[in-house]
Structure 1
Amino acid sequence: MTTYDRIGATYQHTRRPDLRIAARIYAALGDAGSVINVGAGAGSYEPPQTVLAVEPSAVMIAQRPAGAARALRASAESIPVADDSADAAMAVLTVHHWTDLEAGVGELLRIGRRRVVVFTWDQAVFRRFWLLDEYLPEVAEYVDAHSVPIDRLTALLGGGTRVEEVPIPYDCTDGFGAAFWRRPEAYLDPEVRAGISMLAQTGEEVVRPGLARLAGDLASGIWHDRHAELLDRETLDVGYRLLVADLDERAPRDH
Protein backbone atom coordinates (compact mmCIF):
# COMPACT_ATOMS: atom_id res chain seq x y z
CA MET A 1 0.00 0.00 0.00
CA THR A 2 1.39 3.41 -0.96
CA THR A 3 1.19 6.56 1.19
CA TYR A 4 -1.62 7.91 -0.97
CA ASP A 5 -3.61 4.68 -0.81
CA ARG A 6 -3.95 5.66 2.88
CA ILE A 7 -4.26 9.45 2.81
CA GLY A 8 -5.35 10.41 -0.69
CA ALA A 9 -9.10 9.87 -0.52
CA THR A 10 -10.00 13.56 -0.03
CA TYR A 11 -7.83 14.99 -2.81
CA GLN A 12 -10.71 15.63 -5.20
CA HIS A 13 -12.24 18.00 -2.64
CA THR A 14 -9.24 19.75 -1.10
CA ARG A 15 -6.56 19.66 -3.79
CA ARG A 16 -8.08 21.46 -6.76
CA PRO A 17 -5.42 22.87 -9.07
CA ASP A 18 -4.82 26.60 -8.80
CA LEU A 19 -4.96 28.18 -12.26
CA ARG A 20 -2.19 30.67 -11.45
CA ILE A 21 0.21 27.95 -10.40
CA ALA A 22 -0.86 25.89 -13.41
CA ALA A 23 0.05 28.80 -15.67
CA ARG A 24 3.57 28.86 -14.20
CA ILE A 25 3.99 25.12 -14.71
CA TYR A 26 2.69 25.28 -18.29
CA ALA A 27 5.01 28.19 -19.05
CA ALA A 28 7.93 26.13 -17.74
CA LEU A 29 6.95 23.26 -20.05
CA GLY A 30 7.18 25.72 -22.92
CA ASP A 31 6.48 24.36 -26.38
CA ALA A 32 6.65 20.69 -25.37
CA GLY A 33 4.16 18.88 -27.58
CA SER A 34 3.97 15.80 -25.37
CA VAL A 35 4.35 15.41 -21.61
CA ILE A 36 4.63 12.50 -19.17
CA ASN A 37 3.44 13.36 -15.64
CA VAL A 38 5.34 11.35 -13.03
CA GLY A 39 3.84 10.94 -9.57
CA ALA A 40 0.69 12.23 -11.22
CA GLY A 41 -1.78 11.64 -8.42
CA ALA A 42 -5.32 12.63 -9.38
CA GLY A 43 -4.10 14.65 -12.35
CA SER A 44 -3.53 18.10 -10.91
CA TYR A 45 -1.67 20.46 -13.25
CA GLU A 46 -1.58 18.05 -16.18
CA PRO A 47 -1.46 20.08 -19.39
CA PRO A 48 -3.64 19.01 -22.34
CA GLN A 49 -0.62 17.60 -24.15
CA THR A 50 -0.05 14.98 -21.44
CA VAL A 51 0.28 11.56 -23.08
CA LEU A 52 0.83 9.44 -19.96
CA ALA A 53 0.41 9.75 -16.19
CA VAL A 54 2.62 7.59 -13.97
CA GLU A 55 1.21 6.96 -10.49
CA PRO A 56 1.67 4.08 -7.99
CA SER A 57 -1.54 4.61 -5.96
CA ALA A 58 -4.79 3.02 -7.11
CA VAL A 59 -6.70 5.42 -4.82
CA MET A 60 -5.24 8.41 -6.63
CA ILE A 61 -5.73 6.93 -10.10
CA ALA A 62 -9.40 6.30 -9.28
CA GLN A 63 -9.85 10.06 -8.67
CA ARG A 64 -8.54 11.09 -12.08
CA PRO A 65 -11.23 12.89 -14.11
CA ALA A 66 -12.89 11.44 -17.18
CA GLY A 67 -10.90 12.28 -20.27
CA ALA A 68 -7.59 12.57 -18.44
CA ALA A 69 -4.46 11.05 -19.94
CA ARG A 70 -3.97 7.31 -19.65
CA ALA A 71 -2.61 6.35 -16.24
CA LEU A 72 0.11 3.75 -15.76
CA ARG A 73 0.38 2.27 -12.30
CA ALA A 74 4.11 2.38 -11.68
CA SER A 75 6.67 4.05 -9.44
CA ALA A 76 8.81 7.01 -10.41
CA GLU A 77 11.93 4.94 -9.84
CA SER A 78 11.09 2.41 -12.56
CA ILE A 79 8.90 3.61 -15.42
CA PRO A 80 8.28 0.95 -18.08
CA VAL A 81 8.40 3.21 -21.14
CA ALA A 82 11.07 3.78 -23.76
CA ASP A 83 13.79 6.40 -23.60
CA ASP A 84 12.80 9.84 -24.91
CA SER A 85 9.11 8.94 -24.84
CA ALA A 86 7.89 12.55 -24.59
CA ASP A 87 9.14 16.06 -25.18
CA ALA A 88 8.98 16.76 -21.44
CA ALA A 89 8.66 14.96 -18.12
CA MET A 90 7.07 16.72 -15.15
CA ALA A 91 6.77 15.97 -11.43
CA VAL A 92 4.53 18.09 -9.19
CA LEU A 93 4.87 18.00 -5.38
CA THR A 94 5.96 14.38 -5.49
CA VAL A 95 9.75 13.98 -5.27
CA HIS A 96 9.69 13.98 -1.45
CA HIS A 97 7.66 10.75 -1.57
CA TRP A 98 10.09 8.85 -3.78
CA THR A 99 12.07 6.08 -2.10
CA ASP A 100 15.09 6.51 -4.39
CA LEU A 101 15.50 10.11 -5.53
CA GLU A 102 18.48 9.41 -7.79
CA ALA A 103 16.61 6.66 -9.61
CA GLY A 104 13.48 8.80 -9.97
CA VAL A 105 15.30 11.82 -11.36
CA GLY A 106 17.25 9.49 -13.64
CA GLU A 107 13.94 8.26 -15.03
CA LEU A 108 12.72 11.82 -15.62
CA LEU A 109 15.89 12.55 -17.56
CA ARG A 110 15.60 9.28 -19.48
CA ILE A 111 12.00 9.65 -20.66
CA GLY A 112 12.02 13.40 -21.33
CA ARG A 113 13.58 14.33 -24.66
CA ARG A 114 13.87 18.08 -24.20
CA ARG A 115 12.85 19.25 -20.76
CA VAL A 116 12.19 18.21 -17.17
CA VAL A 117 10.00 20.36 -14.89
CA VAL A 118 9.77 19.73 -11.14
CA PHE A 119 7.51 21.64 -8.74
CA THR A 120 8.67 21.30 -5.14
CA TRP A 121 9.69 23.51 -2.21
CA ASP A 122 12.81 24.89 -0.58
CA GLN A 123 12.74 23.63 2.99
CA ALA A 124 15.07 26.39 4.21
CA VAL A 125 12.29 28.87 3.37
CA PHE A 126 9.30 26.63 4.09
CA ARG A 127 10.49 25.87 7.63
CA ARG A 128 9.92 29.53 8.55
CA PHE A 129 6.23 29.26 7.69
CA TRP A 130 4.28 30.36 10.76
CA LEU A 131 2.29 27.12 11.07
CA LEU A 132 5.45 25.07 11.52
CA ASP A 133 7.53 27.67 13.30
CA GLU A 134 4.97 28.66 15.92
CA TYR A 135 2.56 25.76 16.30
CA LEU A 136 3.80 22.49 14.84
CA PRO A 137 7.56 22.05 15.42
CA GLU A 138 7.08 18.27 15.31
CA VAL A 139 5.76 18.57 11.78
CA ALA A 140 8.70 20.80 10.88
CA GLU A 141 11.03 18.03 12.02
CA TYR A 142 9.11 15.51 9.95
CA VAL A 143 9.35 17.72 6.86
CA ASP A 144 13.06 18.32 7.50
CA ALA A 145 13.58 14.58 7.36
CA HIS A 146 11.52 14.02 4.20
CA SER A 147 12.08 17.13 2.08
CA VAL A 148 14.55 17.20 -0.79
CA PRO A 149 17.13 20.00 -0.74
CA ILE A 150 16.95 22.20 -3.81
CA ASP A 151 20.70 21.98 -4.42
CA ARG A 152 20.51 18.19 -4.40
CA LEU A 153 17.75 18.26 -7.00
CA THR A 154 19.55 20.74 -9.22
CA ALA A 155 22.73 18.66 -9.03
CA LEU A 156 20.83 15.55 -10.13
CA LEU A 157 19.02 17.40 -12.90
CA GLY A 158 22.29 18.79 -14.17
CA GLY A 159 24.06 22.02 -14.93
CA GLY A 160 21.96 24.86 -16.21
CA THR A 161 18.85 23.87 -14.27
CA ARG A 162 17.05 27.08 -13.34
CA VAL A 163 15.11 27.61 -10.14
CA GLU A 164 12.04 29.86 -10.20
CA GLU A 165 10.23 31.25 -7.16
CA VAL A 166 6.48 30.56 -7.13
CA PRO A 167 4.67 32.89 -4.71
CA ILE A 168 1.41 31.44 -3.41
CA PRO A 169 -1.79 33.52 -3.77
CA TYR A 170 -3.79 34.15 -0.61
CA ASP A 171 -6.86 32.41 -2.09
CA CYS A 172 -5.01 29.43 -3.54
CA THR A 173 -7.48 26.71 -4.53
CA ASP A 174 -4.98 23.87 -4.08
CA GLY A 175 -4.86 22.96 -0.39
CA PHE A 176 -1.21 21.92 -0.09
CA GLY A 177 0.94 22.57 2.96
CA ALA A 178 1.24 26.37 3.04
CA ALA A 179 -1.70 27.25 0.79
CA PHE A 180 -3.65 28.71 3.72
CA TRP A 181 -0.98 31.13 4.90
CA ARG A 182 -3.61 33.93 5.12
CA ARG A 183 -6.53 31.64 6.04
CA PRO A 184 -5.29 30.00 9.26
CA GLU A 185 -8.68 28.65 10.30
CA ALA A 186 -8.49 26.18 7.41
CA TYR A 187 -5.88 24.14 9.27
CA LEU A 188 -8.48 23.39 11.94
CA ASP A 189 -10.58 21.48 9.38
CA PRO A 190 -9.85 17.71 9.47
CA GLU A 191 -10.73 17.31 5.79
CA VAL A 192 -8.22 19.99 4.82
CA ARG A 193 -5.55 18.35 7.00
CA ALA A 194 -6.26 14.97 5.40
CA GLY A 195 -5.19 16.43 2.04
CA ILE A 196 -1.88 17.79 3.37
CA SER A 197 0.60 14.96 3.52
CA MET A 198 2.88 16.49 6.15
CA LEU A 199 -0.07 16.74 8.56
CA ALA A 200 -1.79 13.51 7.62
CA GLN A 201 1.40 11.49 7.95
CA THR A 202 2.50 13.09 11.20
CA GLY A 203 -0.84 12.11 12.74
CA GLU A 204 -3.65 13.73 14.70
CA GLU A 205 -2.21 12.87 18.11
CA VAL A 206 0.95 14.80 17.30
CA VAL A 207 -0.68 17.87 15.76
CA ARG A 208 -3.62 18.22 18.16
CA PRO A 209 -1.86 20.29 20.90
CA GLY A 210 -0.44 22.79 18.40
CA LEU A 211 -3.74 23.13 16.59
CA ALA A 212 -5.49 23.72 19.91
CA ARG A 213 -3.09 26.62 20.54
CA LEU A 214 -3.79 27.94 17.05
CA ALA A 215 -7.53 27.77 17.68
CA GLY A 216 -7.05 29.70 20.92
CA ASP A 217 -4.90 32.34 19.25
CA LEU A 218 -7.47 32.79 16.48
CA ALA A 219 -10.29 33.15 18.99
CA SER A 220 -8.38 35.71 21.08
CA GLY A 221 -7.04 37.67 18.12
CA ILE A 222 -3.41 36.92 19.00
CA TRP A 223 -2.72 35.32 15.62
CA HIS A 224 -4.11 38.30 13.73
CA ASP A 225 -2.09 40.75 15.83
CA ARG A 226 1.09 38.73 15.36
CA HIS A 227 0.62 38.36 11.60
CA ALA A 228 -1.07 41.62 10.72
CA GLU A 229 1.42 42.17 7.89
CA LEU A 230 0.03 39.12 6.07
CA LEU A 231 -3.58 40.25 6.01
CA ASP A 232 -3.21 42.70 3.12
CA ARG A 233 -0.81 40.61 1.05
CA GLU A 234 -1.93 39.06 -2.23
CA THR A 235 0.89 36.52 -2.48
CA LEU A 236 3.64 35.15 -0.24
CA ASP A 237 6.88 33.30 -0.87
CA VAL A 238 6.63 30.27 1.39
CA GLY A 239 9.32 28.34 -0.44
CA TYR A 240 7.62 26.75 -3.44
CA ARG A 241 9.93 26.43 -6.43
CA LEU A 242 9.90 25.35 -10.07
CA LEU A 243 13.01 23.60 -11.33
CA VAL A 244 13.42 23.57 -15.11
CA ALA A 245 16.11 21.53 -16.85
CA ASP A 246 16.46 22.06 -20.61
CA LEU A 247 17.87 18.81 -21.92
CA ASP A 248 18.21 19.87 -25.56
CA GLU A 249 20.93 22.31 -24.52
CA ARG A 250 23.16 19.45 -23.41
CA ALA A 251 25.28 16.94 -25.24
CA PRO A 252 23.37 13.97 -26.71
CA ARG A 253 22.92 11.08 -24.33
CA ASP A 254 24.25 7.60 -25.00
CA HIS A 255 21.60 4.91 -25.27
Structure 2
Amino acid sequence: MSRNDGMNYAPKGKPNKVVSENEFTFAAIALDHGHIYGMCNGLVEAGARLKWVYDPDPSKVKSFVKAFPNVLVASSEEQIMQDEEVRLIAAAAIPSKRCELGLRAMNNGKDYFTDKTPFTTLEQLEIARAKTKETGKKYMVYYSERLHVESAVFAGQLIEEGAIGRVIQVTGFGPHRLSAEIRPKWFFEKKYYGGILCDIGSHQIEQFLYFAGCKDGKVLHSKVANYNAKDYPELEDYGDATLIGDNGATNYFRVDWHTPDGLSTWRW
Protein backbone atom coordinates (compact mmCIF):
# COMPACT_ATOMS: atom_id res chain seq x y z
CA MET A 1 0.00 0.00 0.00
CA SER A 2 2.27 2.74 -1.29
CA ARG A 3 1.98 6.36 -0.22
CA ASN A 4 2.56 7.25 -3.86
CA ASP A 5 -0.49 5.26 -4.94
CA GLY A 6 -3.61 6.98 -3.66
CA MET A 7 -5.94 4.38 -5.16
CA ASN A 8 -4.41 1.62 -3.04
CA TYR A 9 -3.20 3.54 -0.02
CA ALA A 10 -4.91 2.11 3.07
CA PRO A 11 -4.71 4.27 6.21
CA LYS A 12 -4.21 2.50 9.52
CA GLY A 13 -5.23 4.06 12.80
CA LYS A 14 -4.84 3.27 16.46
CA PRO A 15 -7.32 0.58 17.58
CA ASN A 16 -10.20 2.07 19.54
CA LYS A 17 -12.73 -0.68 20.08
CA VAL A 18 -16.31 0.48 20.52
CA VAL A 19 -17.83 -3.01 20.41
CA SER A 20 -16.91 -6.22 22.21
CA GLU A 21 -15.47 -9.28 20.47
CA ASN A 22 -17.90 -10.81 17.93
CA GLU A 23 -20.55 -8.20 18.76
CA PHE A 24 -20.49 -6.67 15.27
CA THR A 25 -19.79 -8.80 12.20
CA PHE A 26 -19.32 -7.49 8.68
CA ALA A 27 -18.27 -8.71 5.24
CA ALA A 28 -16.46 -7.23 2.25
CA ILE A 29 -17.93 -7.52 -1.25
CA ALA A 30 -16.67 -5.96 -4.50
CA LEU A 31 -12.96 -5.14 -4.37
CA ASP A 32 -12.87 -2.92 -7.44
CA HIS A 33 -11.18 -0.01 -5.65
CA GLY A 34 -8.34 -0.16 -3.15
CA HIS A 35 -10.25 2.00 -0.67
CA ILE A 36 -11.85 -1.22 0.58
CA TYR A 37 -8.66 -1.86 2.57
CA GLY A 38 -8.88 1.42 4.46
CA MET A 39 -12.58 0.85 5.05
CA CYS A 40 -11.98 -2.59 6.54
CA ASN A 41 -8.99 -1.37 8.55
CA GLY A 42 -11.17 1.24 10.22
CA LEU A 43 -13.95 -1.20 11.02
CA VAL A 44 -11.56 -3.79 12.47
CA GLU A 45 -9.77 -1.13 14.51
CA ALA A 46 -13.16 -0.19 15.98
CA GLY A 47 -13.65 -3.80 17.10
CA ALA A 48 -15.74 -5.22 14.27
CA ARG A 49 -15.19 -8.77 13.05
CA LEU A 50 -14.48 -9.25 9.34
CA LYS A 51 -16.01 -12.64 8.55
CA TRP A 52 -16.35 -12.92 4.76
CA VAL A 53 -14.96 -11.60 1.51
CA TYR A 54 -16.31 -12.08 -2.00
CA ASP A 55 -15.29 -10.84 -5.42
CA PRO A 56 -15.58 -12.64 -8.77
CA ASP A 57 -11.88 -11.90 -9.43
CA PRO A 58 -9.71 -14.50 -7.60
CA SER A 59 -6.61 -12.30 -7.80
CA LYS A 60 -8.36 -9.49 -5.90
CA VAL A 61 -9.52 -11.96 -3.27
CA LYS A 62 -6.01 -13.39 -2.92
CA SER A 63 -4.56 -9.95 -2.24
CA PHE A 64 -7.33 -9.17 0.24
CA VAL A 65 -6.76 -12.41 2.16
CA LYS A 66 -3.07 -11.57 2.41
CA ALA A 67 -4.04 -8.33 4.17
CA PHE A 68 -6.77 -9.94 6.31
CA PRO A 69 -5.66 -13.58 6.81
CA ASN A 70 -8.52 -14.54 9.13
CA VAL A 71 -11.27 -13.74 6.63
CA LEU A 72 -13.34 -16.52 5.05
CA VAL A 73 -13.67 -16.60 1.26
CA ALA A 74 -17.32 -16.87 0.18
CA SER A 75 -18.29 -18.77 -2.96
CA SER A 76 -20.88 -16.16 -3.91
CA GLU A 77 -22.39 -12.86 -2.90
CA GLU A 78 -25.56 -14.70 -1.97
CA GLN A 79 -23.71 -16.79 0.62
CA ILE A 80 -22.84 -13.59 2.46
CA MET A 81 -26.26 -12.03 2.05
CA GLN A 82 -27.90 -15.10 3.59
CA ASP A 83 -25.64 -15.07 6.66
CA GLU A 84 -27.76 -13.54 9.42
CA GLU A 85 -24.66 -12.94 11.54
CA VAL A 86 -23.42 -10.34 9.05
CA ARG A 87 -24.79 -6.92 9.96
CA LEU A 88 -22.98 -4.73 7.46
CA ILE A 89 -21.62 -5.00 3.92
CA ALA A 90 -18.49 -2.98 3.13
CA ALA A 91 -17.94 -2.52 -0.60
CA ALA A 92 -15.89 -0.66 -3.19
CA ALA A 93 -17.67 -1.66 -6.38
CA ILE A 94 -17.45 0.08 -9.75
CA PRO A 95 -19.11 3.45 -8.97
CA SER A 96 -22.13 3.01 -11.25
CA LYS A 97 -22.84 -0.35 -9.57
CA ARG A 98 -22.55 0.77 -5.96
CA CYS A 99 -26.20 1.65 -5.58
CA GLU A 100 -27.53 -1.68 -6.84
CA LEU A 101 -25.26 -3.57 -4.45
CA GLY A 102 -26.46 -1.39 -1.59
CA LEU A 103 -30.08 -2.12 -2.46
CA ARG A 104 -29.37 -5.86 -2.34
CA ALA A 105 -27.67 -5.48 1.02
CA MET A 106 -30.57 -3.54 2.53
CA ASN A 107 -33.10 -5.97 1.06
CA ASN A 108 -31.26 -8.69 2.98
CA GLY A 109 -31.44 -6.80 6.26
CA LYS A 110 -27.91 -5.41 6.27
CA ASP A 111 -26.50 -1.91 6.54
CA TYR A 112 -24.30 -0.78 3.65
CA PHE A 113 -20.94 0.98 3.77
CA THR A 114 -19.68 2.02 0.34
CA ASP A 115 -16.66 3.79 -0.98
CA LYS A 116 -17.25 7.22 -2.47
CA THR A 117 -18.76 8.16 -4.79
CA PRO A 118 -21.97 6.48 -3.58
CA PHE A 119 -23.95 7.20 -6.77
CA THR A 120 -23.41 8.26 -10.35
CA THR A 121 -26.97 9.46 -11.06
CA LEU A 122 -29.65 11.38 -9.17
CA GLU A 123 -32.05 8.53 -9.89
CA GLN A 124 -29.83 6.18 -7.88
CA LEU A 125 -29.87 8.64 -4.99
CA GLU A 126 -33.66 8.77 -4.90
CA ILE A 127 -33.96 4.97 -5.11
CA ALA A 128 -31.52 4.53 -2.24
CA ARG A 129 -33.31 7.12 -0.11
CA ALA A 130 -36.58 5.28 -0.61
CA LYS A 131 -34.96 1.96 0.27
CA THR A 132 -33.49 3.26 3.52
CA LYS A 133 -36.95 4.48 4.55
CA GLU A 134 -38.51 1.17 3.54
CA THR A 135 -35.99 -1.05 5.32
CA GLY A 136 -34.71 1.15 8.14
CA LYS A 137 -31.16 0.27 7.09
CA LYS A 138 -28.24 2.65 6.67
CA TYR A 139 -26.50 3.61 3.42
CA MET A 140 -23.13 5.02 4.54
CA VAL A 141 -20.24 6.45 2.55
CA TYR A 142 -16.48 6.29 3.10
CA TYR A 143 -15.26 9.82 2.50
CA SER A 144 -11.67 8.96 3.33
CA GLU A 145 -10.26 12.44 2.73
CA ARG A 146 -12.08 13.67 5.86
CA LEU A 147 -12.68 10.52 7.88
CA HIS A 148 -9.23 8.95 7.51
CA VAL A 149 -6.85 11.92 7.41
CA GLU A 150 -5.51 13.31 10.69
CA SER A 151 -5.36 16.94 9.57
CA ALA A 152 -8.99 16.85 8.39
CA VAL A 153 -10.12 15.24 11.64
CA PHE A 154 -8.23 17.89 13.60
CA ALA A 155 -9.80 20.68 11.54
CA GLY A 156 -13.22 19.29 12.39
CA GLN A 157 -12.32 19.23 16.09
CA LEU A 158 -11.16 22.85 16.01
CA ILE A 159 -14.39 23.93 14.35
CA GLU A 160 -16.49 21.98 16.84
CA GLU A 161 -14.62 23.58 19.74
CA GLY A 162 -15.24 27.05 18.30
CA ALA A 163 -11.52 27.71 18.00
CA ILE A 164 -11.79 29.42 14.62
CA GLY A 165 -15.27 30.89 14.87
CA ARG A 166 -17.98 30.64 12.27
CA VAL A 167 -16.98 28.98 9.00
CA ILE A 168 -18.18 31.22 6.18
CA GLN A 169 -16.04 29.89 3.32
CA VAL A 170 -14.22 26.67 2.50
CA THR A 171 -11.66 26.34 -0.28
CA GLY A 172 -10.54 22.87 -1.27
CA PHE A 173 -7.90 21.48 -3.60
CA GLY A 174 -7.81 17.81 -4.53
CA PRO A 175 -4.87 16.95 -6.80
CA HIS A 176 -4.56 13.25 -7.63
CA ARG A 177 -2.10 11.12 -9.55
CA LEU A 178 -3.52 9.49 -12.68
CA SER A 179 -1.23 6.42 -12.88
CA ALA A 180 -3.14 5.38 -15.99
CA GLU A 181 -1.16 2.18 -16.43
CA ILE A 182 -2.58 0.63 -13.25
CA ARG A 183 -6.16 1.85 -13.62
CA PRO A 184 -8.93 -0.55 -14.67
CA LYS A 185 -10.82 0.01 -17.90
CA TRP A 186 -13.96 1.29 -16.15
CA PHE A 187 -11.97 4.17 -14.65
CA PHE A 188 -11.85 5.83 -18.08
CA GLU A 189 -15.53 5.36 -19.03
CA LYS A 190 -17.83 8.12 -17.78
CA LYS A 191 -20.92 5.92 -17.51
CA TYR A 192 -19.06 3.90 -14.90
CA TYR A 193 -17.10 6.51 -12.91
CA GLY A 194 -19.58 9.39 -13.21
CA GLY A 195 -17.21 12.24 -14.10
CA ILE A 196 -14.50 13.93 -12.04
CA LEU A 197 -16.86 16.14 -10.00
CA CYS A 198 -19.05 13.17 -9.15
CA ASP A 199 -16.01 11.05 -8.29
CA ILE A 200 -13.22 12.84 -6.44
CA GLY A 201 -15.20 16.08 -6.35
CA SER A 202 -17.66 14.43 -3.97
CA HIS A 203 -14.93 14.46 -1.29
CA GLN A 204 -14.71 18.23 -1.52
CA ILE A 205 -18.45 18.78 -1.35
CA GLU A 206 -18.81 16.50 1.67
CA GLN A 207 -16.03 18.35 3.47
CA PHE A 208 -17.62 21.72 2.74
CA LEU A 209 -21.01 20.64 4.08
CA TYR A 210 -19.42 19.18 7.21
CA PHE A 211 -16.94 21.94 8.04
CA ALA A 212 -19.42 24.74 7.31
CA GLY A 213 -22.27 23.03 9.17
CA CYS A 214 -24.58 22.93 6.15
CA LYS A 215 -27.46 20.50 5.72
CA ASP A 216 -27.77 21.25 2.01
CA GLY A 217 -26.13 23.29 -0.72
CA LYS A 218 -26.52 24.53 -4.26
CA VAL A 219 -24.03 24.38 -7.13
CA LEU A 220 -23.70 27.88 -8.59
CA HIS A 221 -21.44 26.91 -11.47
CA SER A 222 -18.91 24.27 -12.44
CA LYS A 223 -16.66 23.20 -15.28
CA VAL A 224 -14.65 20.17 -16.36
CA ALA A 225 -11.99 19.51 -18.98
CA ASN A 226 -9.62 16.93 -20.42
CA TYR A 227 -6.28 18.68 -20.80
CA ASN A 228 -3.68 15.93 -20.87
CA ALA A 229 -5.42 12.55 -21.12
CA LYS A 230 -6.10 12.60 -24.84
CA ASP A 231 -5.74 8.81 -25.05
CA TYR A 232 -8.82 8.60 -22.82
CA PRO A 233 -11.47 10.90 -24.35
CA GLU A 234 -14.12 10.14 -21.68
CA LEU A 235 -11.81 10.99 -18.78
CA GLU A 236 -12.12 14.41 -17.19
CA ASP A 237 -8.72 15.27 -15.73
CA TYR A 238 -9.76 18.68 -14.34
CA GLY A 239 -12.85 20.07 -12.64
CA ASP A 240 -13.89 22.90 -10.35
CA ALA A 241 -17.09 24.22 -8.82
CA THR A 242 -18.54 26.97 -6.66
CA LEU A 243 -21.30 26.21 -4.13
CA ILE A 244 -23.40 28.02 -1.56
CA GLY A 245 -24.71 26.30 1.54
CA ASP A 246 -28.14 26.61 3.11
CA ASN A 247 -26.63 28.72 5.90
CA GLY A 248 -24.94 31.16 3.52
CA ALA A 249 -21.44 29.67 3.64
CA THR A 250 -19.67 29.39 0.29
CA ASN A 251 -17.27 26.91 -1.26
CA TYR A 252 -14.82 26.75 -4.12
CA PHE A 253 -12.96 23.56 -4.94
CA ARG A 254 -10.68 22.28 -7.65
CA VAL A 255 -9.77 18.66 -8.40
CA ASP A 256 -7.49 17.16 -11.01
CA TRP A 257 -5.47 14.15 -12.15
CA HIS A 258 -2.24 16.12 -12.65
CA THR A 259 -0.07 15.18 -9.65
CA PRO A 260 3.43 14.49 -11.04
CA ASP A 261 5.12 11.17 -10.37
CA GLY A 262 7.83 12.85 -8.31
CA LEU A 263 5.40 13.77 -5.53
CA SER A 264 3.78 11.54 -2.93
CA THR A 265 0.00 11.57 -2.52
CA TRP A 266 -1.78 14.79 -1.53
CA ARG A 267 -2.08 13.44 2.04
CA TRP A 268 1.57 14.00 2.83
Structure number with the bigger relative contact order (C-alpha 8 A, sep ≥ 6) is 1
Larger relative strand fraction: 2
| TM-score (structure 2 length as normaliser) | 0.42
Larger relative helix fraction: 1
| TM-score (structure 1 length as normaliser) | 0.44
